[in-house]
Amino acid sequence: MVGRLVGLSVAALLASTAVPLAAETPDREQIVSIVKEQRDATIEDLREWIALPTIAAEKLNTPAGAEYMKQLALDAGFQQAKIIPTDGVPAVFATLDAGAETTLGLYFMYDVKQFDPSEWDAPPLEGRLVEREGEGLTIVGRGAVNQKGPEMALLAAIKAIQASGKKLPVNLVLVAEGEEEVASTHFDQVVAVPEVRDALAKTVGVFIPSAAQSKDGSANITLGAKGAVEFQLVVGGETSDKYPKTDIHSSNHARIENPAWRLVKALDTLVADDGHTPAIDGWFENVRPLTERQKELIAEGAALNPEEEAKALLGVGRWIDDEPYVTSLERFLSQPTVNIQGLIAGYTGPGGKTVLPGRAEAKLEFRLVPAMTKDEAVSKLKAHLAKRGFDDVQVTVSGGYGPNETDEDSVLIRAQKALFDEKGIPYSIRPRNAGSWPGVIFNGPPLNLPASQFGLSRGGGAHAPNEWFLIESSDPKVNGLDEAIMAYVDYLYVVAEEAAEVSD
């Protein structure tokens, strides 16, 4: 997912005992046996999927990735699957009618982040099995954990139930996009298709498979995520005739403006002098503060997750303004941000080149919190720059969406609590992820559905070199692939049970 959450993977926090225990999955041992029998085939399926990366930013394998996702759905038993065209990368829509009383929505992404093979210890598209110290046997490759590993585990769970001769306890509606890693640029077009929208409207909610198990075996429940908007600011000969069309000799800076300086001046207005507090006019108008319940959850998580471990994971020695740990976590989950991802201008090679750049570009992103919206954020950015006379700064929005929230009492969250309680798995509840996924497309109007993440698997390195997904765990408390698949099997049955209780 875009900008995965780092740093709040807390340990055991048992939630309310008022949640009813889930019924045992029928003939579970038979399904376990089938999962084991299919294990090699599942690993090979994952390896082959890793070998076909769809990278929206590079327009790599965009038609092929959608066709591959469509076939994966059909192979898993979906009766129909079709390509949904958009103004960008196509999506996939599939349905599985099991004749059940409850229908569950699934959100997949089939695209992955860019990669540089020179930075990897194992080839990023090979799907090599690698022993990882302290974890166990892993599969390494781009997309292994984000999100092909968890998604393949869910598809394997669907196959295993059907191979046991049973119908699924829920009907399924699947939507899979190929632009999640560029902030879901056209995903709203997919859900706007009447056939897709009507199918999703029948669901009790939509969830994305994830690898949300911590190293100590505890699980994580999240009640939402920040929104994300990705955009570029460009200054140069393409935006105004006061800048050169190409790099020119630097002596001309005495009489010609440098677009890099102009971009720096514009960027400086977006944050306060502290370098991190957003300073865009009206930025905090619609920011909803944390509730007392959310602060309580954050404090409980902080008490169980050592601060030094969080700092070590991030490679830092202090938080902003040397704030206390709990304060930093509240900021992490509640504050909207204006972040510079990268700056590009002129010559950056060895030595000097004495040029005046013809173009300067900054790549940025916003992280949005309730009750902000993408349109509001973009509008305020443009108005802010215009007010200060930066009419020569071109703003190009490449993708984005608002934040999402789901109630603790929704069927999806109740089912997670019930499952973890039944299995004796300790868990924490996060008010939201600081990273983002487009759950607001389901969570907001016109669908207004619960949207969540679920997965009892483990992995790491999302967006980074040597991305991995756990296949065989060295710790019995932590799930390998087989156990992750069975967690999805159990979750489907618990969702059906919880939905039936709610409807009663």
The SS3 assignment for 207 reads strand
Q: 404-405 and 359-368: which strand pairing?
A: unpaired
pLDDT computed for residue 69 by the predictor: 98
Residue 114's nearest CA partner among 72, 58, 40, 47 is: 58
Q: Average pLDDT of 448-474?
A: 96
Average of pLDDT values for 140-151? 98
Whole-number percent of the chain with pLDDT over 70: 95
| Beta-sheet strand order (sheet of 103-109) | 80-84, 91-96, 171-177, 103-109, 206-209, 451-454
For domain 28-226+403-503, give its CATH number from 2.60.120.260, 3.40.250.10, 3.40.1190.20, 3.40.630.10.
3.40.630.10
pLDDT, residue 17, reads: 34
Three-state SS across 265-309? Answer: HHHHCCECCCCCCECCCCCCCCCCCCCHHHHHHHHHHHHHCCHHH
pLDDT at 490: 98
Q: Which region among 281-295, 309-323, 401-415 has the lowest average model confidence (pLDDT)?
A: 309-323
Do residues 206 and 200 lie in contact, with contact meaning Cβ atoms separated by under 8 Å? yes
Contact (CB, 8 A) for 369 and 288: yes
User: Are 374 and 400 spatial neighbours (Cβ–Cβ below 8 Å)?
Assistant: yes
For residue 126, the 8-state DSSP code is: T
Confidence check: pLDDT of 12 > 60? no
Tokens matching residue 196: 């897709």
Confidence of residue 1 (pLDDT cuts 50, 70, 90): low
Domains 28-226+403-503 and 227-287+336-401 alike in fold = no
Which pLDDT value is given to residue 18? 36
What is the pLDDT at residue 303? 79
> Is a pLDDT exceeding 80 seen at residue 10?
no
DSSP secondary structure string for all residues of 367-419: EE-TT--HHHHHHHHHHHHHHTT-TTSEEEEEEEE--EE--TTSHHHHHHHHH
Mean pLDDT of 73-78: 98
Give me the pLDDT at residue 11, please. Answer: 35
Give the pLDDT of residue 5: 42
What pLDDT is stored for residue 16 in this prediction? 35
Q: Rounded to an integer, what distance in angstroms lies between the CA atom of residue 283 and that of residue 336?
A: 9
Does this model's pTM top 0.85? Answer: yes
DSSP 8-state symbol, 114? -
Residue 4 has a pLDDT of 42
Q: Please check the confidence at residue 415 and state whether its pLDDT lies above 80.
A: yes
The mean pLDDT value for 201-222 works out to 94
Query: Over the Cα atoms of the chain, what is R_g?
Result: 24
Report the C-alpha gap between 107 and 151 in whole angstroms.
Answer: 9
How far is residue 304 from each of residues 14, 49, 112, 316, 324, measured CA to CA in Å? 11, 37, 32, 20, 15
Under the banding of pLDDT at 50, 70 and 90, the label for residue 14 is very low
Q: Which pLDDT tens digit goes with each residue over 342-397?
A: 999 999 999 999 999 999 999 999 999 999 999 999 999 999 999 999 999 999 99
- Please report the pLDDT score of residue 2 as a whole number: 54
pLDDT at 502: 85
* Residue extents of the structural domains in the chain: 28-226+403-503, 227-287+336-401
pLDDT tens digits for range 148-199: 999 999 999 999 999 999 999 999 999 999 999 999 999 999 999 999 999 9
Q: Mean of the pLDDT values across residues 74-88?
A: 98
**Tens digit of each residue's pLDDT (9 = 90 or more) over 197-211:** 999 999 999 999 999
pLDDT value of residue 305: 76
Q: What average pLDDT does the structure give for the chain?
A: 94
CB 180 within 8 A of CB 437: yes
Report the pLDDT averaged over residues 238-262: 98
Return the sign of the alpha-carbon dihedral for residues 70, 72, 106, 231. Answer: negative
Cα of first residue to Cα of last residue in the chain, in angstroms, is 36
- For the record, the structure tokens of 446 come out as 């016109």
The whole-angstrom separation of Cα 396 and Cα 415 is 41
Give the tokens for residue 319: 């938080």
Share of the chain above pLDDT 90, in %: 90
Residue type, 452: S
Contact 315, 373 (CB under 8 A): no
Element (H, E) at 149: helix 149-163
Going by C-alpha positions, the residue among 22, 33, 19 that lies closest to residue 169 is 22
pLDDT of residue 310: 87
AA letter at 67? E
d(CA 153, CA 141): 16
Instruction: Provide the pLDDT for residue 23.
Output: 56
Find the farthest-apart pair of alpha carbons in the chain and give their distance in angstroms, rounded.
80
DSSP state of 260: H
Residue 290 has pLDDT above 90, yes or no: yes
Helix (H) or strand (E) holding 56: none
pLDDT on residue 313: 77
Amino acid 110 reads Y
Does CATH place domain 227-287+336-401 in 3.30.70.360?
yes
pLDDT average, residue stretch 471-477: 97
Per-residue pLDDT at 21: 43
Quote the pLDDT of residue 269.
Answer: 98
